[in-house]
Amino acid sequence: MSFLDYFRQPEGLENLSPRAVQLAISDENTSIIDVRSDREFSHGHIRGAKPCPLGRLDEYIPEIQKNKQVVLICATGHRSRAAAAKLLKSGFTKVSHLEGGMRSWVKAGNETTNE
């Protein structure tokens, strides 16, 4: 993974607003993957999101279903872009991320959970 992957929009990555992520959550064919650290995740995350820290993404790739829409979440959108680049290079085709990350989620008034 290149340092530039944090800032470059990978071809094939769809940017989602907080509202679009809310709609995606209710779709059983969507996986919500949170690539923040375990500590960040434990302080509040989107209900139903699966923790998958970016630094350990390679370990989790075999567990992520390629036939589902994958929505990536991080704090600001940088790590989710980098994760998307890796997933797209690994053959995933339906990859999106929460533009602005958890900051935009909270700013839009959406709830988080610690469960």
Q: In what order do the strands lie in the sheet with 69-73?
A: 13-16, 95-98, 69-73, 30-34, 50-51
Structure tokens at 38: 């375990």
The answer to whether the Cα torsion of 24, 50, 52, 86 is positive or negative is negative
Q: Which of 74, 83, 87, 98 is catalytic?
A: 74
Name 13's bridge partners.
95
Q: Clarify whether 52 is annotated catalytic.
A: no
Catalytic residues: 74
